[in-house]
Amino acid sequence: MPKQISAEELDSIVSVVSRYKDGVRIDTLMALPDIELGQRTLQRRLAQLVATGRLVKEGTGKAVQYKLPSFSLNLTLPDIKPDVTIEAYIPVSPEGAEIRNHVRQPRQMRTPVGYDPEFLAAYHPNQTFYLSENLRSQLRKIGTPEDQALPAGTFARDILNRLLIDLSWASSQLEGNTYSRLDTERLIEFGQAADGKDSVETQMILNHKAAIELLVSEAGQIGFERTSILNLHALLSDGLMIDPRAYGRIRERLVEIGGSVYLPIAMPQRLDELFSVILDMATEIVDPFEQAFFIMVHLPYLQPFEDVNKRTSRLAANISLIRHNLCPLSFIDVPVRAYTDAMLGVYELRRIELLRDVFVWAYERSCQQYLAVQRQLVPPDSFRLRYRKELTLTMKTIVTFQKPATKETVSEAVPAAVTETDRDRFVEMVLEELENLYEGNALRFGLRPLEVKAWRASSA
C-alpha cells in the first residue's frame, strides 16, 4: 500500500514556495532548512502539487521553477459555445476538490443529513487545529503589519475607508448582491444609492458598513461573547428580516438551506445551548487565525439565526484579526461558487478542507491589498487620536440634545479634558465632523441614525 502523504507536509512545501514570488528552483529549495526531504521525494511532492493546481511549473530542464498560481478567470467564448458558462474558482487541495465534486452532484443524489453534535464535540480548543502549525505561521507572517506594538484595531483603523468598501461589497456579493464596487463606494462615501437596485441590496451594504465600524471602533471590547455576536447579527440583519424581533435573537423557527440537503436543528433551547458552547470554545482558542476559521465553520453550521448566519460568521471572523492588529479578511475576489461549495461541504459532509482552501486564499488576497495600502498612507492625525474620546462625547452632546452646529454651542460642550491651548482647534474639528455627519456614518460616534435624523430636522 503506498505511503499516505500528510496535508501538513504539502502545506509546508507550498508555504516555502510562496516566499518566492517569481518562482524558485528545486536546488534552492533543497538548500533551505525548512525542507527535510530527499531530492527525488521533493520532486514527487512538487509534481503532485502541480497536478492538483496548488503550484505551477515554468521552464524546462535545469531552469524549471515552481511558484504559486495566479488567479484567473476561466473565460469561454459565448458566440462559439453558448451553453458553456464562465466560472471563477481558486486553486484547491485534493481534499477540497473531493468535497467540491461531491456537493456538485444533483441534490437528489446527496443524502439528507441533520446537525451532528459530534462535529463540535470532537474539537478541543488549542489541542485540535483546523489550520496546521505551518499554515498558521505562514498566515501570521503575511498578515502582520510592520509596526506591531500598537493598540488593538490600529491597522484596521488605518485602512478603514478601504476596508468599509471592500468588505461591505465582497461579503454582500457572496449573498447575491448586485452592487458593483463603484456603486458600493458611492453609497458608503456619499450616501448615494445606485439606480435600479433593490432597496434590500442597498440596506445590506449599509448594514455591513455599520457592523464593520462597530468592530473597528470597539476593537478592544468586542469579543466572542454572546452580546457582541448578537449585536453584530442585529446590525447585519437590520431591515432585512420579516420579523423585527428576530434581529440579534436565537431563532424559534425551523429553517432550510436552499440547494442543500442539510437540515439544521429546530429546537430553540438546544440551539441556544450550542450557540453558547461555540462562543465559549471560540473564546478559549489562542491563535487568532484558528479562532477566525473556527467561527466561520461552526456558526453557519449551527444556523442559530433565522437568516444572516454566514454574513455574521464572516464579520465575526474579523474580530480576532482586528483585535490582534493583523490584516483583516475582506473576502475580496472570492468566487461565489467556491464559497458556496465550501459551505455545502461543511453542512453536508462536516468537512472543512474546501472552506480552509477558500479562507487561506482569501486571506492572502486581503493581505496583498491592505499591506500595500498601508505603506501609502499618510500618518494618522495625532491630535485627533489624542482627543478621540472627547470628540465622541462632544458629538453625542450636540446631537442628542439637538443643539445647533455653531461655534458657540460646540465651545460650551467641550470637555474639561481638552486643554485651553487646544480648544480652538478642537472646536474646528467638531464643527467639521458635524457638517459631514449623516445617518450612514453616525455609528462611529455611538449615535443612532434616528438621532441624527432628528437633529438634522431640528437644525433645518
Return the CATH architecture of domain 7-67.
Orthogonal Bundle (1.10)
What sign results for the dihedral spanned by CA atoms 303, 304, 305, 306? positive
- Closest C-alpha to 120, from 226, 307, 275: 275
User: And the C-alpha cell for 153?
Assistant: 484595531
List, for residues 69-89, the tens digit of each pLDDT value: 764 333 343 443 444 445 679
What whole-number distance in Å separates Cα of residue 11 and Cα of residue 29?
14
Give CA–CA dist 292/289, Å, rounded: 5
* DSSP secondary structure letter of residue 177: -
Task: Name the one residue in this structure whose C-alpha cell is 441624527.
Answer: 452
The grid coordinates listed for 10 are: 504539502
Long-range contacts of 159-166 (CB under 8 A, 24+ apart): 159/328, 159/370, 159/373, 159/374, 159/377, 160/213, 160/216, 161/189, 162/369, 162/370, 162/373, 163/212, 163/216, 163/328, 163/330, 163/370, 164/188, 164/209, 164/212, 164/213, 165/189, 166/330, 166/332, 166/369
Rounded Cα distance between 23 and 67, Å, is 4
Report pLDDT digits (tens) over 122-147. Answer: 999 999 999 999 999 999 999 887 66
Task: Please indicate whether the domains covering 7-67 and 94-375 agree at the CATH topology level.
Answer: no
Strands (E), 206-287: 262-263
For residue 444, the model assigns a pLDDT of: 82
Q: Measured between alpha carbons, how far is 18 from 394 in angstroms, rounded to an integer?
A: 49
Show the low-confidence residues of the chain (pLDDT under 50): 1-2, 71-85, 377-378
Tens of pLDDT, residue by residue over 227-272, are 999 999 999 999 999 888 999 999 999 999 989 999 999 999 999 9
Beta-strand relationship, 87-88 and 73-74: antiparallel
Domain boundaries, the chain: 7-67, 94-375, 382-459
Contact 205, 191 (CB under 8 A): no
Query: The pTM is what?
Result: 0.65
Calculated CA dihedral for residues 379, 383, 385, 387, nearest 10 degrees: -170
pLDDT the model gives residue 346: 98
Q: What dotted CATH number matches 94-375?
A: 1.10.3290.10
Query: Which pLDDT belongs to residue 158?
Result: 72
Q: What is residue 62's predicted lDDT score, i.e. its pLDDT?
A: 73
Q: Specify the pLDDT at position 87.
A: 64
Is residue 313 within 8 Å of residue 299, measured between CB atoms?
yes
Exposed, middle or buried: residue 152 (CB in 10 Å: 0-12, 13-18, 19+)?
Answer: middle
Amino acid at 321: L
DSSP state letter for 85: P
Whole-number pLDDT of residue 439: 80
